[in-house]
Structure 1
Amino acid sequence: MNVIKKLTIVIGLMLSSYAFAAEFNNQCTNGLSQGISFTTNCEIKEVFGGKTYCFSGEAARAAFLANPQEVINKASAFYAKNVDKAVKDVEPEREKISQADALKQINSKTCDLSNKDAGYLEFDKMDLRHCKMVNTSFFGAYLRGANLSGANMQKSYLNLARLEDANLSGADLTDATIFQAIFDKTNFQGANLTNARMIGTLGNVNMSDATVIRGRFGLDIGNQPMGAMRFDAIGGKFAHTNFEGADINRSNFRFADFRGANLRNTDLFRADFSKADLTGADITGAKFGEAILDGTIMTNVKGLEAIKGYEESKGKCIDCTITAAQPESKADTPQKVSAIDMMTAENPAVKVCNIRGARF
């Protein structure tokens, strides 16, 4: 009996370890089914068919459970077709460093914090412009008043970081992830945020002249690793910023400055632009379904046709009348003039006229 019990325990452990060997290299299964590669820590998982599948949040797991096999099939197809891209998207391992290690690098002319885990370390008011910080984790780190202008911070991880008064102007934040950082007067002017993921309450952030092409700032209901969040930037500065192709759905841009911004082909579904200024912006091809444009200034905006379907019941925009297309002018064509029978010697009147009492 003891032998049988031992065999049962061993087999059980083997099966459990096999089940925990997550599919898709710990990437969110639901995300993959939608064509999105996102690595998780697999804390939220589900076993189906003897295999473990990871999820970025409870909402993603619930979506999976609605039709698991269909989600798995779509995820498998995307993963197989984009395996090289998927592997690249998996973050390289980061080496945990101490405060002393970080200071040693910062005091060096060849400062390089790339692939380092600097989580919760203190960098308040430090000058980090000379540092290379590719794929650096600043999770929960203190960067208040720090100068990171022009720094290379591609694929950096700034979740929950303290960024009050931080200067990130001109920084390269391509593919960076910035979820629920603490912002206040944070300066992203001229920064490169191409394909970056950002969610949080930014307040009066300065992101003017920045590049946010294909940026992912909108609410992704099925892929929220930290719960339902959205991009909130009341009074933010986005003048002349390039948002082309970005997803900024359901964001809060009340009183924001979007003058001259490029919003071509952006997803602005249910975004709130109340009292915002979009003078001279280009919104060609943007999705404004159910957006709020209460008092939004849209003087000289290009592509006004895009606002069809916005939530008029919550207020109307200013200078946003869509001019109806004028029909093409047709060349004047000769019109047939009805023949008029005139009484002449050659053409006596056909009908007898009653001329009684008439004077000639």
Structure 2
Amino acid sequence: MNIKYFLELYEAGYRDFTGISLAGADFSHHILVDVDLSRASLRGANFSRSFLTQANLDHADLNWANLSFAKMSETRLVQADLTKANLRGAFLVRTDLRRAQISGADLCHANLRQADLRGANLCGANLSGANLRGANLSGANLSWAHLTGARLSGAELERTRMDATNLEGAWLNGLDLHGMNLAGVNLKEAKLNGANLDHANLSSANLTRTTMRGVSLVGANLSGSDLTGAVLWNGILDGVDLSRADLTRAHLGEASLKAAVVVGTEFTESVLPAEARAYLYETVQGETRWTNRPARDTLNQSQFVDRIPQQ
């Protein structure tokens, strides 16, 4: 079937095109609402700025397809192959993408609010500036994905893989990330206010200038992480491992640091809670790997305060 005949059938009211083969076809700017293209072969097809609202594309082959700025709210894409697809600026609100293959795809500034991405493979995908608020990413693979400036508030991230994920400047306020493996993840300048990171692995993570007011990091592993200029005001860091971490100019006013591990920790110009003074001086030891100085000497260069003034 060619594209012209397909469009004629659609205009005549026909909707079931299950298993059709139209690889490389140009559907751009067309209205294809409620169309059934499940199991269709659409590799390299052009759907740019098309309307695919409530369409069925389950198991469809959309490898390398162009879906940039397409309207796809409430569309079904269960187990669809979107590898290397162009979804830049696409409108995917409440779209069903369960177990879809989206590795290497371009989803820059896509709107995925409340989308179902459970078990989806987004390895290496570009989600910079994407709206993922309220999305379900449970069991998804976000390893090596780029989520710079992405908004994930209210998202579900249970069992989500995030190996070497770039979350620089991302909005993660209030998320439940307890027990997650975020080792080496880039969270520079991210927003994690009120997030739950209890027992999470953040070893060697980049947390430079990250805002984490009221965060819970009970028993978390922050060994070797860079917290330069980070804000952890009123955070709960009981039992946290801060060995070899860099807290230069970090703000921890009113934070709880009970039983924190501070071996080789860098404290230069940090702001620390006054109530932790005795404990920190009693337990700090070793040499920092950041300035190669005794950790106690850097603690002497920190400031202990009872309360950080509200702004």
Which TM bucket (shorter chain)? Answer: 0.5 to 0.7
Say if 1:95 and 1:262 are closer, same or farther in 2 by CA, change over 3 A. Answer: farther
Matched with 2:200 is: 251
Aligned to 1:298: 247
* Residue 129 (str. 1) matches residue 78 (str. 2): no
Matching residue of 1:232: 181
Report the counterpart of residue 77 of structure 1 in structure 2.
none
Equivalent residues in 2 for 1:101-120 (5 A)? 107-110=47-50, 111-120=70-79
**TM-superposed deviation, 1:276:** 0.3
Shift of 1:269: 1.8
Structure 1 residues 301 and 186: alpha-carbon distance in aligned structure 2, compared to 1, 3 A threshold: same
Per-residue deviation, 1:267: 1.7
TM-fit CA distance, 1:263: 0.4
- Aligned-pair identity (%): 23
> 1:271-329 deviations in whole A, cap 9, x for unaligned?
211100000000001111222212111111112541411432x84632168455689xx
- Higher Rg: 1
C-alpha deviation, 1:131, in angstroms: 2.0
Q: Does the 8 Å CA contact 1:106/1:128 hold for their aligned counterparts?
A: no
Deviation at 1:96, TM superposition (A): 8.5
Unpaired segments ≥5 residues, structure 1: 1-93, 219-229, 328-360
Query: Whole-Å Cα distance in 1 between the matches of residues 42 and 133 of structure 2?
Result: 23
Query: Secondary structure of the residue that 1:232 maps to in structure 2?
Result: coil
Partner residue, 2:266: 318
Could you tell me which of 89, 100, 108 is aligned with 2:40?
A: 100
Question: What is the deviation of 1:104?
Answer: 11
Amino acid at match of 1:152: N
Equivalent residue for 1:15?
Answer: none
Greater fraction helix: 1
CA-to-partner distance for each residue in 1:10-31, whole Å, 9 max, x for gaps? xxxxxxxxxxxxxxxxxxxxxx
CA change 1:104–1:115 in 2 (3 A) is farther
Partner of 2:102: 143
Work out the CA distance in 1 between the residues paired with 2:84 and 2:245: 37
CA contact (8 A) 2:230 2:251 kept: yes
Write out aligned runs for 1:1-360 (5 A): 98-100=38-40, 107-110=47-50, 111-199=70-158, 200-218=160-178, 230-312=179-261, 315=263, 317-319=265-267, 322=272
CA RMSD of aligned residues (A): 2.8
Deviation at 1:130?
3.6
When structure 1 is superposed on structure 2, of 207-216 and 164-173 the one drifting more is 207-216
**What SS class does the counterpart of residue 147 from structure 1 fall into?**
coil
Measure, in 1, the Cα distance between the counterparts of 2:305 and 2:167.
39
More strand by share: 1
The residue type equivalent to 1:276 in the other structure is: S
Shift of 1:248: 2.3
Gaps of at least 5 residues in structure 2 are 1-33, 51-69, 278-303, 307-311
The whole-number CA distance in structure 2 between the counterparts of 1:139 and 1:156 is: 9
Q: What letter corresponds to residue 318 of structure 1 in structure 2? A: E
Asked whether the 8 Å contact 2:209–2:227 carries over to 1, the reply is yes
Number of corresponding residues: 222
- 1:92-133 residue CA offsets vs partner (Å, 9 max, x unmatched): xx9996243987996141322222231211000010114211
Return closer, same or farther for 1:310/1:263 CA change in 2, 3 Å cut-off.
farther
Q: Distance in 2 between matches of 1:326 and 1:109?
A: 55
Q: Secondary structure at the match of 1:201?
A: coil
> Is the CA contact 2:253–2:305 (under 8 Å) kept in the aligned structure 1?
no
Structure 1 counterpart SS, 2:40: helix
